[in-house]
Amino acid sequence: MGRPRKDEPRDQQHNIRFTAAEIVRIQQNAARSGKTLLEFSRTALLRRPRPPRGKNAPTLIVFSAPVIAAWQQLGAQLNDIAHRMNARDVLPPSELRRILAELQRLLRSGLRHYRDHARYALAPPVRFHLRKVGANLVQLRQRHDDLGLPAPAALLRLLEAIRAIMRGDRSPDAA
């Protein structure tokens, strides 16, 4: 005789893809908890979500799509300048000051709503673009040093501002 039917059959399915490393980690966690992979997965997915951290939760800093697009465009221009300066022993082009001023303006306008928040977390696109621009600024400052030129004050101010923002990032996935 077969098993009696359940009142509530499990007839719904949700497929999730994992990397090989993720599956190994999930299997190890299941083994540690003494459950099969399926039992462990079901328990983890049906668990009640953690409550928000209350007033200690960091404020999420997000930029609008047009602001992100502007960061991307200016970051690409800055990257081109860094490549040109690294490829040849050339002086920084005149458009560098304009790009630095525009990036400074974008940074100020993007963060003006968050000035009073002591704890903040950068949204992934914001963190990505700040890191990329910061890396290019470091390259440009280093190239100025290599050429025996003083780095523009705007470059140094912007680099320090980005570093300060990155140091204050309280995102769970921030590196």
Condensed to tens digits (0 to 9), the pLDDT of residues 134-143 reads: 999 999 999 9
How is 42-90 classified by DSSP, letter by letter?
HHHHHSPPPPP-GGGSPEEE---HHHHHHHHHHHHHHHHHHHHHHHS--
Percent of the chain at pLDDT > 90 equals 41
Q: pTM for the whole thing?
A: 0.65
Q: Do 119 and 60 form a contact (C-beta atoms < 8 A)?
A: no
Query: CA-based Rg of the chain, rounded to a whole angstrom?
Result: 24
CB atoms < 10 A from the CB of 141, how many?
A: 15
Cα dihedral 26, 17, 6, 3 sign: negative
